[in-house]
Amino acid sequence: MTPGITLKKGGFSQSLREALEDYYKAVPVSPSCTAMKWREWADNPNVIPFRVTKDGKKLGWIVYNSAESTIEEILRDKESTDEKDLFHMVDALIARETLVAAEILKEDTDRYRWMVEYGFRPTRFFTKNNVPVIKMDLSTSILFKRLTGHKPPGAYRRKERVAVEKIPESQTYPEIKKGLENLIKKLGGLKRFVKPDQTVVIKPNIVSDHGLKDGVWQGGIVTDTRVVKALVEILLPVAGKVIVAEGSSINRSETSKMFAHYGYDQQLVSLDPRKVSLVDLNTDEQIEKSVPGGKRMHSRKIPLTLEKADAIISVPVLKIHFAAIVSLAIKHLQGAVPPLEKYMSHFFGLWQNLVNIHHLVKPKLTIIDGLVGQEDFGPISGTPKKMDLLIGGINPVAVDAVAMRIMGIDPATSPPVLLASLQGMGPIEPRLIEVIGPDIQDVMSPFQQPEIDLTGGKDITIHGESACPGCRGYLHFVLTKLRRPDPKDTSRLLIDRPFEKKVNIFLGPTHDREINREEHNIFLGICQLHNAHQGTHLPGCPPHAEVIVNGLFGLFPDVEKPKYANESEEKKLGEMLHHILTMA
Ligand code: SF4
């Protein structure tokens, strides 16, 4: 960040109008278009003209649409003699607004050039007022780099409380229930969260069927059924209705099978069939809601069950996620949206879209099931780690920050947790979080994080130093599927198969290697969108595993690609992918 820059809300002044007209003459844009734009801005209360100065010197103007987090215009003042002032101006804006986008004229190749150099990427091409326009989204990886050590004015400053409860090692059901009661008591008691006769939705994590294999419980993958059962029992004397709701991520149409798999019918509904029910959020009716600030996705479809609930209690698991670093309170709500929304989150920017869900679905209470956590290659294929803990609180960011410190991980390393804190959703700083219960140091036990191996093969080179954990984790996940014997020659691995043309895989916003168009180039994610025309682009931020599988296995047409889900699910995923890629 450049010090000494100020951003002040101004008006639609004559000097701004003149600067706009001068700039558009040079692009060139017709005067009628300029006049139309000016009128549109003046009529839109969300459009703010910011005057930008550095140490008293006028740098220029940013016309910013706060409802869509989009730069409508950015202009240098006559006093500005250095193009880098544009960088300083954007720095000042992201210091205040974090993740922003911009709309630029397709003809404006000069602006396109410097915006790409800064870290914006062309995510959509469309026509506005009959003029071709490009939507430029800022790379989240670049945002984090430029905001390192900076605390935006909108960041959280209030103190939050997070409770930690140690459960006896024996983990009997009465001990778990007692622990849960103690935890809720530490946070102010159940009455604080649930009023008599209200409808309460419990959202556990039952991401897949991996948590119970051949009748044997595999800890740390899904929320322990005993925790959900104890919570239902605690709620029943007060609540009018208790709904246990989830939308599984693997084999999405099969949440109801997951409920049966984990015994929810027998163990939960049977507690009081008149009051307790199960809802599959993947097939629930939906309501479309606008996202405040409109960062990345402007609206999200939310299941009606969550929208109508008087109180939501989120119950994630204490576990590692190979791309998000952890899957705790913030990541957990990915399971709360319908399948197409889950998929779209990846395409438009998973980290921001996870934060966005929390604007629309607001659990009154989060309780992390840390009876058994999961380390290494979570959220499904890691190793169980017994922790005997429950961690709870009202603010999901503070809850994640405490849980991550207990796991021995810096909360700022998880992109969605960091983004949520930068955007004022909650604190990650220890001084802003009061921990009720044992000291973090007394219960802390470092979780093994997955080793991300991005080494390529004989003719495959990977350029990914600048990528955030998202693309790195997902690419690692798919590369492991290439590290097996090549059916054409079993003495080598598939990844070492020789190719006529060298293969390069680029990820992250920057790389040192010049792109050689004679080679086979594969570009990953929004960060590499500006290079898409020079090879194969795999869309997303991070690209969904399915997209990377399709992209990389395209190099091996004779090899059957790994299945991400069963056949009917594969078909649905294919349809969803097609739907997203052909959206206007
Ligand atoms: S495209 Fe990949 S590297 Fe870039 S911000 Fe998204 S996940 Fe991170």
Give, in degrees to the nearest 5, the angle at Cα 321 between 315 and 325.
105
Query: Measured in angstroms, how far is the CA atom of residue 26 from the centroid of ligand 1?
Result: 34
Question: What is the number of other CB atoms lying within 10 angstroms of the CB of residue 500?
Answer: 6
Cα–ligand 1 centroid distance for 468 (angstroms): 6
Same fold for the domain at 5-138 and the one at 460-577?
no
Instruction: Establish whether residue 464 lines the binding site of ligand 1, counting it when its CB lies within 6 angstroms of any ligand atom.
Output: no
For residue 527 and ligand 1, the question of a CB distance below 6 A is answered with yes
Higher pLDDT, 339 or 190: 190
Say if residue 583's pLDDT is above 80. no
What's the average model confidence in pLDDT over 243-250? 88
Q: Is 399 in the pocket of ligand 1 (CB under 6 A)?
A: no
The SS3 of residue 538 is strand
Q: What is the pLDDT of residue 151?
A: 80
> What is the per-residue pLDDT for 565?
61
Cα-Cα-Cα-Cα dihedral of 538, 539, 541, 545, to 10°? Answer: -60
Nearest atom of ligand 1 to the alpha carbon of 469: 8
- Closest-lying ligand 1 atom to the alpha carbon of residue 526: 1
Higher pLDDT, 156 or 448: 448
Amino acid in the structure at residue 574: G
Mean pLDDT of 5-19: 92
Rounded to 5°, the CA angle 296-413-521 comes to 60
Q: Give the range among 341-355, 377-391, 414-428 with minimum mean pLDDT.
A: 341-355
Q: What is the distance in A from the centroid of ligand 1 to the CA of 267?
A: 41
CATH 1.10.760.10 at 160-443, yes or no: no
Contact between 328 and 316 under an 8 Å Cβ cutoff? The reply is yes
* Ligand 1 touching residue 227 (CB < 6 A): no
pLDDT band at 14 (very low <50, low <70, confident <90, very high): very high
For residue 473, pLDDT beyond 50: yes
Residue 467 Cα distances to 301, 369, 511, 535, angstroms = 29, 31, 9, 19
Q: In 190-237, where do the E strands start and end?
A: 199-204, 212-213, 216-217
Among candidate residues 310, 258, 311, the one with its CA nearest the CA of residue 283 = 258
Residues 460-577, CATH architecture: 3-Layer(aba) Sandwich (3.40)
Per the CB < 8 A criterion, the answer to whether 144 and 176 are in contact is no
CB 422 within 8 A of CB 147: yes
Query: Residue 564 Cα, ligand 1 centroid: separation in angstroms?
Result: 21
Sign of CA dihedral 545, 99, 26, 54: negative
Q: In this predicted model, what pLDDT tens digit does every residue of 439-454 receive, in sequence order?
A: 999 999 999 999 999 9
Tell me how far the alpha carbon of residue 494 lies from the centroid of ligand 1, in angstroms. Answer: 26
Mean pLDDT of the chain: 93
Cα gap 310→373, rounded to integer Å? 29
pLDDT of the residue at 285: 97
Check whether 251 has a pLDDT greater than 80: no
What is residue 422's three-state secondary structure?
helix
> 386: number of CA atoms within 13 Å, CB side?
6
Percent of the chain with pLDDT over 70: 96
Domain ranges across the chain: 5-138, 160-443, 460-577
Cα–Cα distance, 129 to 567 (Å, whole number): 44
Q: What is the pLDDT of residue 207?
A: 85
For 186, which DSSP code? Answer: H
pLDDT at 253 > cutoff 60: no
**Any ligand 1 atom below 6 A from CB of 325:** no
Q: Which atom from ligand 1 is nearest to the alpha carbon of 139?
A: 5
Dump pLDDT digits (tens) for 474-501.
999 999 999 999 999 999 999 999 999 9
Tell me how far the alpha carbon of residue 193 lies from the centroid of ligand 1, in angstroms. 37
Q: Is the pLDDT assigned to residue 574 strictly greater than 80?
A: no
pLDDT reported for residue 584: 45
Cβ–ligand 1 distance for 547 under 6 Å, the answer no
Average pLDDT of span 181-193: 98
State the Cα–Cα distance between residues 435 and 425, nearest whole angstrom.
18
Say yes or no to pLDDT of 250 above 90.
no
Q: How confident is the model at residue 247 (pLDDT cuts 50, 70, 90)?
A: very high
pLDDT in tens, 162-184: 999 999 999 999 999 999 999 99
Is 5-138 a CATH 3.40.630.30 domain? Answer: yes
What DSSP character marks residue 537?
E
